[in-house]
Amino acid sequence: MKKHDKIISFIFILFMMVTATYWAIKTDTWTVMGTLASVICFVLFVLLGLRTIPVLTAFVLANPALEVTRESKERDRRQAWLRIIGWILASRILLMLIGYGFLIIQNGYSGGMFSKIADTWHIFGIDASHYLGIAENWYQTEGDPRYHIVFFPFFPNLIKVVQVFVGNYLVAGFIVSNISSIVAALVAYELAALDMHRKNAMRVVKYIFIFPAAFFFFIPMTEALFLALSLMCLYFVRKKEWLIGCLCGALAAYTRSPGVLLIVPVAIEFGRDLIGNYKLLNKKMFIHRITTAVGCLAIISVGLLAYLYINYYVTGNAFQFSIYQREHWSQRFYLFFDTVRYQMEYAVGTFKSGDHRSFLGMWLPNLVAIFSALIIMFMGAKKIRPSYTAYFIVYFAFVVGATWLLSAPRYLLVAFPLAFAAVALTEEKSKDAILTVVSVAGSLLYLAMFVAGYPVY
């Protein structure tokens, strides 16, 4: 390990030990299973960070001119795009049929598939109803709708636009989500194809859409739109279209709060480009390049700033959303390994009490998603682009570090580096087949629980 890697690793370990000490002092209750889960999660995260540091520094310091990216022929790209679009559309139809089938199994026949679409997908029992309400009535200051200011506006904005043409907010929500799914699939393929054979790029798309919770891409939720914008951000940055890429990042930050974290991988890509071109550019051009990079990075934050301004305009407080999250949903940002502690304690408690719906629908899937994501990324950290791994690390710490985490599978679904790592770990056909079968089986089981009304959010 090089000297600078040792220094960075030491700082990282020191920082993690300080946070662990703070956690140990602040935690009031201890259980064997909760503590054990926290320690394992903490260790896995630290190991992932330590494994990423030397790869990341080597990546940033490498000469980008030596990087070889694959360029697909137009004919190959056209065929791949048609195949992806056809597969996404077919999978949407299959999802509708399977979901409706599960509903009939649960409740018996009570109406046609389209008349029962809101019941099948629990539109009014999940956040989808809030987004539809914002699209129709914008943010309110009275009654229960006043709490909906915690939901970001870009997805409702698009629903509002599409509704003008279709005349129905629910239909518009489905349209926006599924068009976003197609865009996400196409951009995922193109982004992956920059670094790998197009067959493996196609497998990246496959894993994104068969991971458990992928059915959330189908319904009026932000996942598909956020994923599409995140992938577009990285794709255009990789193609040196910095301004377009950062504008996509700003829209991602205007869609969901973790979108602002795209600053991390974009900054890494910028840093690599600047360091690699330091000796090739004269001083004036290099300063201009730095100024451009900083300006483009700042653009990503505009999405979040626009959301804060809406908070201020509607409520008089730019951070009113955080007050509602804390007071109404008991939601604050804390340490991700403490999240694992209480998740395990709830899992054990609901299992012992016989509350199998909560155990199977919420706590067990949350824990499986958290640990599976960490393990997959740890194993694949040296095989995928380091900027993607860095993004996963900050994204994981942010979304898992919630004091009332209900939706870990859904949140981690849009952490696109997971699909890249899964492909890197399944080069052998047998491994690919095993992970595919496990993912599809998990998806069907998770979907069945969702349709059956288990606490799947």
Q: Tokens at residue 423, please?
A: 């492909």
Entry pTM: 0.96
Mean pLDDT of the chain: 94
Of 200, 171, 201, 197, nearest to 189 by C-alpha is 201
- At residue 271, what is the residue type? G
Q: Across-strand partners of 402?
A: 333
Task: Give CA separation, 95 vs 44, 90, 91, 117, 121, in Å.
Answer: 34, 9, 6, 11, 11
Question: CB-based contacts of 9: which residues, under 8 Å, 6+ apart?
Answer: 1, 50, 53
Q: Tokens at residue 57, please?
A: 């520094």
pLDDT at residue 68, rounded to an integer: 63
- Rounded Cα gap, residues 29 and 307, in angstroms: 37
Q: Tokens at residue 131, please?
A: 């987004």
Residue that has been written with the tokens 């490498």 in this structure:
62
- Rounded Cα gap, residues 444 and 450, in angstroms: 10
Of 182, 140, 135, 138, nearest to 155 by C-alpha is 135
pLDDT at residue 110, rounded to an integer: 84
Per-position b or e across 125-138, b if 16+ CB within 10 A of its CB: ebbbbbbbbbbeee
pLDDT at residue 307, rounded to an integer: 98
Positions of the chain with pLDDT under 50: none
pLDDT at residue 2, rounded to an integer: 87
pLDDT at residue 30, rounded to an integer: 87
pLDDT at residue 253, rounded to an integer: 98
- Rounded Cα gap, residues 253 and 226, in angstroms: 8
- Rounded Cα gap, residues 162 and 177, in angstroms: 11
